[in-house]
Structure 1
Amino acid sequence: IPHQTIRRYMKIHGHYLVMKKSHKSFLIHENSVKTLNTIRSLYAAGKTNKQVDDHLINNGFALNLDSGNTHEHVSNVVSGGALQDLKNDMNSLHEKLNEQEKFNRLLLEKMVEQNERIESQQKYIDEKLTKRDELLLKSMREILEVKKINSPVQQQEQQEKKKWYYFWFK
């Protein structure tokens, strides 16, 4: 297999190969040679990239995950059933996420509605307090005016009510 073809296989299907980079070259583990031959035969049969991946998954080829260290690889066989289970789980998570988003929208609408109600109530309360204060001030002014008017009359009445002997001692 030409090195350019192997590099292309490594780029597209590298997660099925156990390899290690050494300077500018790659070292491929001997267990991955079978995988490379299978990939080569599938492409020779006219399969597409997705079809090759599906074949590798369904036939139990090891899915190699890089653990972060360039010298260590973690191999794990992932079956088609396990991938289908993961896909089903993801779909259920998407459904729950959509339900949560709907709930959040409804909650937000309720909060906006409640805020509008509170604002209208506060406006009503403020108007009523203002009217009450105006009426209270008006009534106090009237009372003061009445007292001012009655004040000279009251003083005169008080003087008239004085006992008769006060007239002699002025």
Structure 2
Amino acid sequence: MNNTRLKSSFLLTFFVTLFLASCDTNDPRRIDFSDVPEPFSTTDPVSVDTTESGLIIYVIEEGEGEFEVGPRDEIEFYYTKRYKSNLDRIISSSYANGVTEPRQELVTTNGSRFDVIVEAQFREGLIGMKEGEKRVLILTPPIIGYLGRSFTYTSDTVWVDIELENITF
């Protein structure tokens, strides 16, 4: 009988400890989106275009310079991916965890699991941007990504705010 009480007591202590540990708000695995700016407004865009793939591109602010992003360029940019049905629900962002430096990446990715530009429509929406340009990309389903192989990862519409800081070639 004492053995049963000891086991029950141990299990109860274990589960209470596990529960309390899971309630820790300082979890280092939790992504902090508190510094992410509000979504860009699409009420008065410079231009709107819809591509054959279904991508909708809102140019919010035109960029400057003679160079435009090409398919193999390396760029520095800020971005935030959200679900269009609930713009408060952030998928990922370059501003996560208080980061203030722009993200640096190749427009044509090598398929690394750390790449941000994995969606075909995201890459398509970057082409032609100039430094300083701001766009909203509306990725429409099916959203196809490429990480070594083609895959469809969501049937939701995704809203991407993007600001091009620099084309580093």
Identify whether the pair has TM-score above 0.5, normalized to the shorter chain.
Answer: no
Query: Which structure shows the bigger proportion of residues in helix conformation?
Result: 1
User: Which structure features the higher share of strand residues?
Assistant: 2
Larger RCO, structure (CA 8 Å, separation 6 or more): 2
Normalising by structure 2, what TM-score? 0.20
Report the structure number with the largest CA radius of gyration.
1
Q: Structure 1 length normalisation: TM-score?
A: 0.20
